[in-house]
Each structure stands twice: as structure tokens, then as C-alpha cells.
Structure 1
Amino acid sequence: MVKKRKTATKTYIKIAFTELLKEKGIENLTVMEIARKAEINRGTFYAHYVDKYDLMEKLEMEIIYDLKQILLRKDESNLNDPVELVPYPLILEALVYVKNDFDFISALAGKGGDPQFIAMIKDILSELITSKLAHTSELQFKKENLPEDYAQEILLSSIVAIILLWIKKGALETPEEIATMITKAKQISPYKLLL
């Protein structure tokens, strides 16, 4: 019973925090406002979190942990396919996860959220690519005479930009449509998009 109550309280706090984060941004909201919106007292808030930054960090770390579990899971079937450095099934599952917690993730990625959040997602994708490259000698970033670090940055930035635009637009497209766009973007050069 106590655990259910704690879980419910944390859910109310997260909902209230999400609304205020979108509305005011992290710098302009207070613990008192979070508590009032969550219909709890400040003491209850402080029983769970040190302050608003601790709340944001703990919620954010849950998301980062979950995304790592999805994206860094071993997927042996696509290990040696160069187009599958970032496998469609893993990206799709990650996008479905984002869609299921969209209100909070969009608030976090928005202008009043944490500017480092998108960088953390990019780091997970970088870890995925590095892991794929380490498991095969057939996959290399030696295309078009670009150094590996620049080539990897181009790939990562295009994936992150698509995801960020999707979030900013309010996730109008389905996760499947975005995963397909990411797959297509990996296969064509930006110059070809202009033709």
C-alpha cells in the first residue's frame, strides 16, 4: 500500500513538473508551484527529491537508462550490415518509448528544459555506433575522404536532428514513419536531398 502511494505521488509530481517545465522552464518554476499543482505539500516533495534540479535529473536519468537498454541491446542479426549501424528495430523501439512519454520528453528537450538532454541521446547513439564498429572490420567511416570522427558526426547529427524536429513538431508522424526517415537519411547524401 505504501509503495503504491509513493508511486502515485511521484506520478503526480512528474505530471505537475512536466506542465510547469513546458509553461515556465526550469529556471522560473518553484518547488511550491510543483507541490501545489501536484496537490501535495512541500514536505512530501522533499521526501522524494532534494530540489527541482534533483527531480529533473532523476526523471531524466530514468529516460536515459531506458533508452540505453533499448538502443545498446545486442542485435546480432544486423551486426555486419553497414546500413544497419543504427538498426531500424532498435530506433523504432526507442521512438515508441519517446512517444509513450512524449509530454515529459518534449518538455525536457524544449527551450525551458535541459540543454544537455539531446547531447545525452546523441552520446547513446554514438555508443551504439562505436559498439557496432568494434564488432566488425567491414564497417568503417572511410567514405568520401572524410576522417572517421567527422563522418560519425555527420551520421549522428542527421539522426538526432530528425528526432529533435519530430519532437519539436509534436510527434505528428508515427514512430514508424520517423524510423523509416532515419533509415533513408542514412542511405542518401544531403546533397541528393536538394536535387
Structure 2
Amino acid sequence: MSSKIDRRIKYTRLMLKESLMKLLKEKSISSITVKELCALADINRSTFYSHYSDQYDLLTQVEEEIIQDMNETLMSYNLGQDDEALQMIEKIVEYVAANSDICETLFSEHGDPSFKKRVMMVAHDYTVKNWMDTYPVDDPKISEYVSLFAISGSIHILEIWLKNGMDKTPKEMAEIINNLTNKGLSSLR
């Protein structure tokens, strides 16, 4: 009996998530109503409210799921090891590819602007800590600046890659990001 309930809950949440992503492609979260979400997901409002308090809560849950997945991926690698850094970037790019519809929507003009900042801060906090441990510098601000530069650029590269229909493989994108991060523009020669 419990597994049937779990499957129904998962199905309901999946339908609501998909409905939200579909609506976010057309308009901002502030323009989306619970009534629209329920109609598109083909569920009633009381079911919606048994899972989420409003459309913002649903969006937050979707974003938190991605942040949690990103944290788990980052924590399982050591950036100080060159091969592990590339593997980590490739895993993140593969995750973005596997969830391309959601990621592209959340990074779009209709997505939550604070989400991109949160993704950047998670990656920034992880990379600064790792770089500081691996490459200690006299001025910690330099590591912070380098990290913000690399992460901001990487996120923008992934956004464009998604908009271009993922015209390169995740492995190729990971190599581009890794080379630009570690060697700068000279890696393109």
C-alpha cells in the first residue's frame, strides 16, 4: 500500500514540476497561478496544497533539488587533482544535459534570478575552499576573484550551450570549461 502512495506522490510532484517548467517558458513565476498549474497538471487545488504552499514554494523545491544534486557532485571530487577536476566538470555538464529543459528554463529570463546567484555561490564556496587548500596564496581575495570569474564564465558558457541545442558533447564542453579555467584564453590556440 505504501509504495502505491509513494508512486502517486512522485507522479503528482513530477506533473506539477513539468507544468511549472512549461509555464515558466512563457511567463515569470509572478504571473503563474496555482489554478493554471493545477489545470495543466490535471490535479485539483487541494492536492496541490497538500504538497506546496504556493507556486513559489514549488519553484523553490525544484531549485533546491538541483542545488542539492550540485552539492553532492561537487563534494565527491577533489579540485586539486587535475583529472578529478575534469571529471567533476564533466559530471556537472552531463547533469545539465540530462536536465537541459529544467536548467534552460531556470536560467532563462522567466526563471528566478536568485537561482543563478545561488548556483554560483555554491560552486564559488566549494572552489574557493578547494583552491585555498590546494594553492594557498598570500591574498585570499585573489582566490575569491578567480573563482567568481571562472564560475560566472562557466555558467554563462553552459547557458549558451543549452540555447545552442547542446551542439557539443558534455565531454567537449567539460574540456572547454576546464581549459579556460586552468589555462585561460591561451588554451584556445
The TM-score with structure 2 as length reference comes to 0.86
1:121 is the counterpart of 2:119? yes
* 8 Å Cα contact 1:27/1:112 also seen in 2: no
For the 8 Å contact 2:128–2:143, the answer to whether it is kept is no
Distance (Å, rounded) in 2 between the aligned partners of 1:170 and 1:115: 22
Secondary structure at the residue paired with 2:152?
Answer: helix
Deviations 1:65-105 (A, max 9, x none): 01100012243xx63x5xx4981111111111111122112
Greater helix proportion: 2
Query: How big is the shift at 1:19?
Result: 0.4
Identity across aligned pairs (percent)? 29
Shift of 1:164: 2.3
Deviations 1:1-37 (A, max 9, x none): 1111111111111111110111122121111111001
Match of 1:63 among 56, 62, 66: 66
Aligned to 2:45: 42
- 1:40-119 equivalences under 5 Å are 40-75=43-78, 79=80, 81=81, 84=82, 87-119=85-117
Other-structure match for 2:27: 24
Query: 2:159 maps to which residue?
Result: 164
Determine whether 1:150 maps to 2:145.
yes
Q: 1:148-185: CA deviations, max 9, x gaps? A: 43333322222222122223333332211210110121
Q: In structure 1, what is the Cα distance between the partners aligned to 2:113 and 2:56?
A: 13
Q: In the alignment, is the contact (CA less than 8 A) between 1:155 and 1:186 conserved in 2? A: yes
Partners in 2 of 1:50 and 1:5 — Cα distance? 19
User: Structure 1: how far apart are the matches of 2:137 and 2:157?
Assistant: 21
- Does the CA-based 8 Å contact 2:74-2:126 persist in structure 1? yes
User: Could you give the per-residue CA deviations for residues 120-168 of structure 1, whole angstroms, max 9, x where no partner exists?
Assistant: 22112212212322433xx1467xxx94433333222222221222233
Given that residues 159 and 182 in structure 1 are in contact (C-alpha distance below 8 angstroms), is that contact kept between their aligned partners in structure 2? yes
CA contact (8 A) 1:71 1:124 kept: no
Give the secondary structure class of the aligned counterpart of 1:40: coil
TM norm structure 1: 0.83
Query: For residue 42 of structure 1, what is the amino acid of its counterpart?
Result: R
Closer/same/farther in 2, CA of residues 33 and 98 from structure 1, 3 Å limit:
same
Q: Which runs of 5+ in 1 are unaligned?
A: none
Aligned partner of 1:180 in structure 2 is 175
> What is the count of residue pairs matched by the alignment?
185
